Structure 1
Amino acid sequence: MTGYVHGQSYKMLQALREKMSGWIAIGIVMLLAIPFAFFGMEQYLFQSGASYVARVEAPPSWWRSAPDFWPVRKLAWNAETISVDDFRSAFEQRRQQTRIEMGDDYDPRAFEAIENRRRVAEGLVDQAVLRLAAQNRGIAVGDAQVAAQIQQIPAFQVDGQFNLERYQLALQTQVPAQTPRQFEAAVRESLEQSLIPVHVGESAFATASQVDRLLVLLGERRDVEFAIMPAPEPDSGPVGDDEIQAWYDAHPEDFRAPETVTIEYVEIDDSAVTVEDMPGEEELREAYASQRARFAGDEERLASHILIEVPADADEATAREAETRARELAAMAQAEGADFAALAREHSDDFGSAESGGDLDWVQPGAMVPEFEQALFEMEEGEVSDPVRTDFGWHILQLRDIRGGEEARPFEAVREELARELTGSARERAFSELVGAVVDQAYREPNSLEPAAAAGGVEVQTAGPFARGEGEGVIAHPAVQRAAFTESLIEDGTVSDPIEVDTNHSVLIRVVGHTPERARPLDEVREEVIAAVRQDRSARRVAAAADAIVERVAQGEEFSAIAGEEGLAVQQVPDVPRGTPIPHPEAVDAYFAAEVPEEGGASAGQVQLEDGSIVVFAVTGVTPGNPEEAMAQERELLRQQLTMLAGNESVAAVLRALRERMKITVIEAQL
């Protein structure tokens, strides 16, 4: 029977396949596409194989109310896609920033958390949203704005002024290297993306009345009476089994044993390195001869240039046209009586130097690209070159002056300096060779540190068990701690890579024991639970006494009289300003959080401090701040701060509104 059913099913499917061809099939697919469009089924059809991290889609400027139906969105909406490479690049940049900010506290495992990846992805989505919004509103940035922005970047400045050499060198040292045109395109895109939030933020303002209200609050002073109830002594009463069990069950996180590891490790530092042979006379003289230039003043050349830019993607005709133009300008500049500066101002494509007549200031060796530098340092003073080709285009150079290149300091004057440098270099080489020998042996036999230790002439040491944050000496170093609790080292039991803990000081470790975090059984922590119960009893008793004082003040009794009955010393402090630690910053925060008392009354409260003591207080008077006492500089500073806060809130609101009008798809599987 089963075979018959399968056979009939096959025949039915075969017949359906034969009929599903031509216009009939197309019609059926189109009909099926309609409900898919309305109910979002295209996500199943198209996103399962998505190769991007996120996609942002926005209605076109000519149809802002375009419906969010798939066929309409596919055909009419504008879209920006955030590729996997874009995300990885942004995530790596964020990694580097975090590593710099946190220093030794940086934890690579924690940084890899999905929450961090989501934050980076959302930041890229926000940028895409702003770019689409700018495109749909026809926002464009001109060349002058791009040039002004680049000239303001500190990395391209020398003594506060834009420097073409620094600019070109910085672009060449990028990974990958960038041409000026590529960098300008990136700056243009960034400016277009930022125009909406910048202008929205700049539109914010703070009124004089807002500043006055803030000055009233900031300048407010309060008359306070307070007393300190000392931290309670632990209760000594009996604790029953039911109470012990209830406390243990209610506070499981308080009674957990932390994860611990036991490690073997070897330390390698340059104290194990000996450099027996001091550099000889011949070696010193060879070093002097090879480095003679560093002991002489560098020759510098005062130069100007005219740049005829050739785009990186220029076709052959465009490149020939640029070369022809460059040769014509070179002939004009080489003519007798020619004004090179005027020609540069009129014809140069280098906006950074054109306004100053092509002036590049003093050029040192290594500051320019090789073709440019070679031509410049082969010229005679006053000479104008033929066109020189670089990645930036064609340059016509003018050498205006030469300075430097003095005679080098004599060998005897730098002999000791060279000897120290050569000895230091020899020690560093020996240390590197020692580390290399140890690491090579560790790679050959990764399940034991003994062979590696023998190769380095050091002993294997043991530490632990210890938890995160514990240990002494090199064991306490953050990098060693991170490695010791790395999942791969714990599971494999292999020797780690060398961990640098200081200059010429490295450590290799191997995890030989591991105990996961665990709940400690009640029998093990029974005495701790009893102590916690008794401490809680005492704390609640003192807190109840403090509550009673606050309640009696609320009913109209005088604070000082009540505190005297309790044997507490009362301090009266008039005109307490914000931020004054009397007796503690948390207490002052509580004073100003209390209700304003009625005339002749008091507003009481309490705050528990970290040491377990409790400050009970009564606010008996409030004096508002006087805006007229504020200096003009203080008012202006507050106005700027309020304006900035209002601007940030406005930008956030605009970004939320823009996101709501767009369709945003994030593929978390690609993060």
Structure 2
Amino acid sequence: MSIYCCPQSDLAAAQTVSDAEVEKYFAEHKQELAKEERRASHILIAVDKSAKAADKTAARKQAEEILVQVKANPARFAELAKQKSQDPGSAVNGGDLGFFAKGMMVKPFDEVAFKLNKGEISNLVETDFGFHIIQLNDVKSTSLADVKPSVIEKLKQQKTQSQFPAQIEKFTELVYQQSNSLKPTADALKLAVKQSDWLTRSNAADPLLGNPKMIEAIYSDDVLKAKHNSEALELAPGQWVSARVLEYKPVSTQSLLEVTPMITAKLKQEKALALAQADGAKKLAALQAGQVENLAWGSAQAFTRIAVEGVSDANLKAIFKANTSKLPAYVGGAVPGRGYVIYKVIKAIDAPALSAEDQFRMQENLAKMYGQVEMAAFIDAIRKDVKVKYQVKPKAE
């Protein structure tokens, strides 16, 4: 089987982009590409937005006293942040919040941070979290050199978009007009011809050839018997394919002698897997009962509730359900096709406290998510309660 592909990515790779084109694009899209980021530190005196007036006044007074100290000696900002700031996420780092783009912080904080000059310290900034004192540490903007590779790729894609339809039209015509070979098409468009391994209607090593549309074309009389190129087929966005048959073997049934080694190996593997899983479950039960098992444990690894590569969802849930009041704890489960895995839980670590800003962003994201869920449920309820009847008015004779 010989196959010729016309992927849009190949056409994009062949495009050339000049420095002048890159500079022009950057100038036209500077606001979008050259985003400014700022690095700031802050000292937070926390007070809830719904707190009593007396509590807010006390918090403000405390923040004002700190502000006097940092204004008098800016070099002490990090030291005072470690001592006084009530943002646990940044206080340990001297109040450093790292670099952030405009819009990432709450609005009052954001507006002040992006007006400060480098090294400048703000007056008190009040947000829903309390009173902040902000020091601007650094400013950086995206340069042309930073975004040049992505701009070049963007311009190549734009050129490809304009040329691709003509390329596909030519490809389609050539595989039809030169139907006895794929070489003329490949030579004309400077693309490659690939040769596949043997395939069947239900099994193809190349995913392109395994596509149902491609299988149907390959097994058509015109391609299989007349040995013509198949029609040009779009199997994925930007991916057009034509194929021709080099050799064909009619379907046949293998003898028992031919398939015996394969069947034997498969049965052995299935039995070995079942024995391994039974042995694993037995060892886990023994460990959970307090018995000592001589096992070769792997190196310790810290897990979070987020998906871990190589660990099934069921086993990850089991790890976090383990009783940590008495460690070590043991959990495990079967691994389909591989055997059995046992995890030894040796320590439970509390998640680090979120900073005030992170809590705010999390609350915002959760509010958006729940809002979308409620809206979807509302629309679904309306669809169930309201029946719409469509009637097409016949055209006048």
- TM-score range for the pair, normalised by the shorter chain length: 0.3 to 0.5
Higher relative contact order (CA 8 A, sep 6+): 1
Structure with higher Rg: it is 1
